[in-house]
Amino acid sequence: MTVTDECPSCNKTETSKHLLWDCIHVKNIWSLLYALMNYVKNGQECVNNYEDVFQACEMPASGIIKAKIIQTLIQIERPMSWNREKLIDTIKDLINVECYNAIVSRTTNKLNVK
């Protein structure tokens, strides 16, 4: 997908681990999620190490948020300079999509569980 193994965000060698954990911009995103999850008293769902990236979440909403972050991280255009507002906007977008899907599929009860 690219002509070099250089991370487009920080210019270090990009491996899978770098892409999902080691890059300074990725660490920022996980730390923003950590702060937000602790704020909503759901700290057990945080990504504290590389292995946590691949762990399923107990709460469906947390899993959807983590999957969206991973989806964003693996795009050709890498996320940089995220802040709390960007993370919250991403979560709001996910909520809107989930609400729309629940209304269309008439599964609002499942949505309420999430």
Establish if 8 belongs to a structural domain. Answer: no
Q: How far, in Å, CA of 45 to CA of 56, rounded?
A: 9
Segments forming the whole domain that contains residue 48: 16-82
Establish if 50 belongs to a structural domain. Answer: yes
Q: How far, in Å, CA of 6 to CA of 34, rounded?
A: 27
Establish if 77 belongs to a structural domain. Answer: yes
Establish if 114 belongs to a structural domain. Answer: no
Calculate mean pLDDT across residues 59-86: 92
**How confident is the model at residue 1, as a pLDDT?**
61
Establish if 39 belongs to a structural domain. Answer: yes
Q: Provide the 8-state DSSP code for 54.
A: G
Give the total number of structural domains in the chain: 1
Establish if 30 belongs to a structural domain. Answer: yes
List Cβ neighbours of 7 (8 Å cut-off, separation of 6 or more): 13, 14, 18, 19, 23, 78
**How confident is the model at residue 49, as a pLDDT?**
95
Residue 21 · residue 53 · CB < 8 Å: yes
Give yes or no for residue 4 having a pLDDT over 90.
Answer: no
pLDDT tens digit sequence for 19-51: 999 999 999 999 999 999 999 998 888 999 999
Establish if 47 belongs to a structural domain. Answer: yes
Mean pLDDT of the chain: 91
Q: How far, in Å, CA of 94 to CA of 91, rounded?
A: 5
